[in-house]
Amino acid sequence: MIAGLLKRIALAPLLLAKRLEAHRVAKQSSETSAANNYYAIISNAVSRLEDKSEKARQELYVKARTILANKRRDGRPYTRRERKALEKAIRDVEKDQELQNYIDALRRELGGPH
């Protein structure tokens, strides 16, 4: 059992590295550059939350959506592409948060550092 947990802990950084590489590759595509910009903003905002609970993160996402909806000074609505980019960034941040929660849980099980 402990060997299995150790193996999962050993693989977790590889999974995270793979996700980071995927983000780097996606950034090279002009179609997803807006999503990457939103990813950086949302990820940074989540990392600064004192309470990183799902409820706190969801409140942050609502604020981000509201800011996007109100950002156009010319009165035109935001584009579908902008909205899709923001939603993709939120999904990616949530996936990263799930992975981090998993790593933290494994560390707690083994009594390691958090």
> What pLDDT, in 10s, does the model give residues 59-94?
999 999 988 888 766 667 778 888 899 999 999 999
Residue 45, Cα to own-chain centre: how many angstroms? 10
Mean pLDDT, residues 11-30: 64
* This prediction's pTM: 0.66
**Using the 8-state DSSP alphabet, how is residue 51 labeled?**
-
The Cα–Cα gap between 89 and 5 comes to 30
Confidence class for position 95, pLDDT limits 50, 70, 90: very high
Domains held by the chain: number:
1
- Return the higher-pLDDT residue of 17 and 41: 41
Residue 2 pLDDT class (50, 70, 90 cuts)? low
| Residue-range definition of the domain harbouring residue 58 | 2-110
